[in-house]
Chain A
Amino acid sequence: MRLARVTVFAGHFGSGKTSLAVAYALWAKQQKDRVILCDLDIVNPYFRMANAVEDLKGAGIRLVTSRFANTNVEAPAIPAEALALFDDTDITGIIDLGGDDRGALALGRYAGLLRSGDAYEMLLVINQFRPLTRSFSDLYEIKNEIETASKVGFTGIVNNSNLAAETTLQDVIATAGFATEASKKLALPLKMTALDKRLIQSEEAKEKALLALDELFPIALYKN
Chain B
Amino acid sequence: MASKVLMKGNEAIAEGALLAGCRHYFGYPITPQSEIAAYMAKRMPKLKGTFLQAESEVAAINMVIGASAAGVRAMTSSSSPGFALKSEGLSYLAGCDLPAVVVNIQRGGPGLGGIQPSQADYYHATKSAGHGDFHMLVLAPNSVQEMLDYAFDAFDLADKYRITVALLADGTLGQMMEPVDTTTKVQGPPVVKPWALTGTEEKRKPNLISSLYLMPEELEATVFERYERYKVIEEKEPRYEGYLTDDADIVVVAYGATSRIAQNAIDIMRKEGVKVGLLRLITLWPFPKKPLYDLAQKASSFVAAELSMGQMADDVELAIRCQKPVLKCYRTGGVIITPEELLQKIREAASIQTS
Interface size class of A (residues with CB under 8 A): 20 to 34
The answer to the question of A215 belonging to the interface, with a C-beta cut-off of 8 Å to chain B, is no
Those 5 A-B pairs whose CB atoms lie nearest each other, nearest first:
A72-B114, A129-B6, A163-B179, A131-B5, A166-B179
Residue B156 at the A interface, CB < 8 A? no
Residues on the B chain within 8 Å of A166, using CB: 178-179
Let me know if B116 and A13 touch, CB within 8 A: no
Instruction: Using known A-B contacts A13-B38, A132-B42, A164-B179, determine if residue A72 contacts B8 with beta carbons closer than 8 Å.
Output: no
Tell me the dominant secondary structure on chain B's binding face. mixed
A72-B108, A129-B6, A166-B179 are known; give 12 further A-B pairs, CB within 8 A.
A13-B38, A45-B115, A46-B115, A72-B113, A72-B116, A74-B31, A129-B4, A129-B5, A130-B7, A131-B6, A131-B11, A131-B15
Task: Answer whether residue B177 sits at the interface, using C-beta atoms and an 8 A cutoff.
Answer: yes
Is A131's CB under 8 angstroms from B179's CB?
A: no
Q: Contact string, A172-188, partner B, CB cutoff 8 A, digits 1/0?
A: 00110000000000000
Task: Across the interface, name the chain A residue whose C-beta is closest to B35.
Answer: A13
Q: Which secondary structure dominates chain A's binding surface?
A: loop
**Residues on the A chain within 8 Å of B42, using CB:** 132
Is B161 engaged at the interface, CB distance under 8 Å to the other chain?
no
Q: Report the minimum CB–CB distance from A200 to chain B (whole Å).
A: 20
Closest A residue by C-beta to B117: A46
Could you show 19 A-B contacts with beta carbons less than 8 Å apart?
A: A14-B6, A46-B175, A47-B175, A72-B334, A74-B115, A129-B5, A129-B179, A130-B6, A130-B7, A131-B5, A131-B7, A131-B182, A132-B43, A134-B5, A162-B6, A163-B6, A166-B178, A166-B179, A175-B1
Q: Is B2 an interface residue (CB 8 A)?
A: yes
* Min distance, Cβ A143 to any Cβ of chain B, angstroms: 15
Tell yes or no: A171 within 8 A of B by CB. Answer: yes
Contact in complex: A14, B116 (CB < 8 Å): no
Query: Which has the most chain A C-beta neighbours within 10 Å: B4, B6, B39, B43?
Result: B6
* Interface bits B15-28 vs A (CB < 8 Å: 1, else 0): 10000000000000
